[in-house]
Amino acid sequence: MFYVHVLYCPNKPCFVSCIRDKRGINGVASSNLMATNKREVKESYDNLGARLYDLRYEEEQGEKYETVLAEVEVKEHEIILDNGCGTGLLFEYLSTTAVGLDISSSLLSKALTRIQDVDDKHLIQGDAENLPLRDHVFSRVFAITLIQNTPNTARTLEEISRVGYRGTIVVVTALKKAFSEEAFRHIIESAGYMIMNLINDEKLSDIIAILSLKIS
């Protein structure tokens, strides 16, 4: 099943310029959302629900965001991708244009309530391994606590690279209970990224990698 759902798009000219030119429902870009493992991930988060997600993870995720944004400057003119945005918690830390993508309709419904009074935040439901977004759009890409949920991590990192450009800063984090630092470093370097900083703070549940794209 091929599907992408544009949930919220107040600033249409800006957002449409990000959408990948690919056949889909009503001309909107489509992405392969429903591979078996991805279906399980989607159903898991949909069943958890947005309220329990926030109760369980809001404080934990906030600590990660604060650590990341202390290291990565985000300027007002930039366009940000929050890949695996969940309930849109990161949006509360950003004052610039941002696109949030997630596989879970339940979590995105909560994200929608967070941004309805602003016109520079956008939401789509889609697949991190097949981003329905144009090449070379985003100056900053955040993938916070995402890759443990992607069956093909290498493909996910390849797609992140595609939607960035020369000078794009990418932040990827890995749950410590799922990845050792050595394994995480290997995954990142094998995907062609240069590690600018690797943060392994004992207070955080994730290892944080701040990356730049290798330009051949």
Read off the pLDDT band of 212 (50, 70, 90). Answer: very high
Read off the pLDDT band of 131 (50, 70, 90). Answer: very high
8 Å CB contact between 97 and 80: yes
Number of structural domains, the chain?
1
Mean pLDDT check: name the lowest of 117-131, 132-146, 162-176, 195-209. Answer: 117-131
Q: Which residues pair with 83 in a beta bridge?
A: 101
8 Å CB contact between 85 and 123: yes
Secondary-structure percent of the chain, ordered helix, strand, coil, rounded to 5: 40, 25, 40
How large is the C-alpha radius of gyration of the chain? 16
**Cα–Cα separations (whole angstroms), residue 50 to 46, 112, 118, 130:** 8, 11, 20, 24
Residue listed under structure tokens 């930039």: 78
Check which CATH number belongs to the domain holding 149 and give it: 3.40.50.150
pLDDT for 203 beyond 80: yes
Q: What predicted TM-score, i.e. pTM, was given to this entire model?
A: 0.86
Give the pLDDT score at 161.
Answer: 96
Read off the pLDDT band of 40 (50, 70, 90). Answer: confident
Read off the pLDDT band of 148 (50, 70, 90). Answer: very high
Nearest to 213 by CA among 174, 164, 171, 173: 164
Q: What's the domain range around 120?
A: 5-213
Read off the pLDDT band of 16 (50, 70, 90). Answer: very low
- Say what the alpha-carbon torsion angle 100, 101, 102, 106 is, to the nearest 10 degrees: 50
Mean pLDDT check: name the lowest of 34-48, 58-72, 149-163. Answer: 34-48
Q: Which residues pair with 149 in a beta bridge?
A: none
